[in-house]
Structure 1
């Protein structure tokens, strides 16, 4: 079994790192570079950057932030938000990202998944999913930070995207994001059971118990923001507790 990855998530608005609740009610946290370097030095396995206002501008505006990060941070970086074409993906990858996460544009034109995977490898094509529960055991995929409905069943959409070439899934529970109430483990289980690619669980971590339950539900990586940004937990603490729980994490 491969190691469980610890992945800080950095939501960006303009030049600032921000944090919301259920992808709304944003609070400015500071300079993303300072946080990125701190998390890298603390032993993060990867970083995820999301341009949360990219849909307003029609493109991802993180290239400067990513190229700065890539000078000081030597772990894989995934970038999402506003990536609508192979050209957009190339621009972000050239800026220093290792993977692109695509949601809205993949739903609008699923062939984009195949185009990006063919050009840069499926390992660089991450399907970003914003999931909201609509019934027991059923979730709908949303776009635009959990505001726009798509009518797509999350599990069916992920299966189709993987067939088209997505090499990883960033699975965000909009209902849990920023709440510190724990991950939506039923959602993680439903998606990870039906896909043969790694699933990054995102949205809801409030304690180490949440981390462990997400891992036991099938997540290959755990993404977190609130607990790290506000200093409620450190990456070494999370790593140690995961190891004590018998989870396979990288030894620093």
Structure 2
């Protein structure tokens, strides 16, 4: 049985780390290289880095920065942001990144996923799905590039990605991002119960016990940002990994 993973999810902007709340209200939280060194010392299970501006700015991954990060990482390292062709994926894998997260590029066409799975194997490719509730409370897929929900059902999209052979689904809640109000456990369970691929749940983690609640609901891994970079009621920046 695969070990459940607890993963810090770190957001990149202009070479630095930021943290968002509901995909807005960005706050600078430090240097990514320093963060990697701290997480190395904490012996974290895995790291996720997401460049939140790459796709919006229609540019590719910052290979120089990612090369530096990969050289410092002692743990498996996943990356997403600005990926739209297999050549980019090949370059990322060459510099030491182990998993590739594909999000908005899949809305236009699933060709990239199909080609990537065929070329690099299922275990390398992760499909990300951002979700946000509409005014009636229904979860919809959210496109972070245009900052709007789109007419796609998250469960149906997750099933489609699984049929295409992706190794994991990364499910991220826009409404709970950075709030530390707790995962949407019922929604996590509804997705994890219905798909064959492992699910990484992200968005809203409030405590270590909440991480384990999400795992009990069927997530194979849990990711969090604020829980690992903020401390106290005023959210002072203090990178930690209160798991061990």
Match of 1:161 in 2: 161
Gaps of 5+ in 2: 233-238
- Distance in 2 (alpha carbons) for counterparts of 1:127 and 1:93: 16
- Distance in 2 (alpha carbons) for counterparts of 1:192 and 1:146: 27
Describe the shift of the 1:191–1:75 C-alpha distance in structure 2 as closer, same or farther (beyond 3 A): same
Residue 166 of structure 1 and its aligned partner are, at CA, apart by: 1.1
Worse-matched range after superposition: 115-124 or 82-91: 82-91
Where 1:57 maps in the other structure, the secondary structure is: coil
Match of 1:222 in 2: 222
- Distance in 2 (alpha carbons) for counterparts of 1:186 and 1:87: 38
Match of 1:207 in 2: 207
Match of 2:187 in 1: 187
Q: Does the CA-based 8 Å contact 1:130-1:145 persist in structure 2? A: no
Deviation per residue, 1:92-133 (Å, 9 max, x gap): 222321111111111211121111111111111100110112
Aligned residues: 237
TM-score normalised by structure 2 residue count: 0.91
Gaps of 5+ in 1: 240-252
Match of 1:20 in 2: 20
Describe the shift of the 1:10–1:146 C-alpha distance in structure 2 as closer, same or farther (beyond 3 A): farther
Note if 1:238 corresponds to 2:229: no
Equivalent residues in 2 for 1:82-121, closer than 5 Å: 82-121=82-121
Note if 1:79 corresponds to 2:79: yes
Residue 145 of structure 1 and its aligned partner are, at CA, apart by: 5.9
- Distance in 1 (alpha carbons) for counterparts of 2:54 and 2:186: 30
- Distance in 2 (alpha carbons) for counterparts of 1:39 and 1:14: 21
- Distance in 2 (alpha carbons) for counterparts of 1:49 and 1:62: 12
- Distance in 1 (alpha carbons) for counterparts of 2:62 and 2:10: 11
TM-score normalised by structure 1 residue count: 0.89
Match of 1:67 in 2: 67
- Distance in 1 (alpha carbons) for counterparts of 2:205 and 2:158: 22
Describe the shift of the 1:107–1:224 C-alpha distance in structure 2 as closer, same or farther (beyond 3 A): same
Where 2:129 maps in the other structure, the secondary structure is: strand
Match of 2:141 in 1: 141
Where 2:152 maps in the other structure, the secondary structure is: strand
Residue 36 of structure 1 and its aligned partner are, at CA, apart by: 1.4
Q: Does the CA-based 8 Å contact 1:51-1:82 persist in structure 2? A: yes
Deviation per residue, 1:128-161 (Å, 9 max, x gap): 110112355x421112268122211000000001
Where 1:209 maps in the other structure, the secondary structure is: helix
- Distance in 1 (alpha carbons) for counterparts of 2:36 and 2:60: 18
Q: Does the CA-based 8 Å contact 1:181-1:204 persist in structure 2? A: yes
Equivalent residues in 2 for 1:38-77, closer than 5 Å: 38-77=38-77
Residue 190 of structure 1 and its aligned partner are, at CA, apart by: 1.4
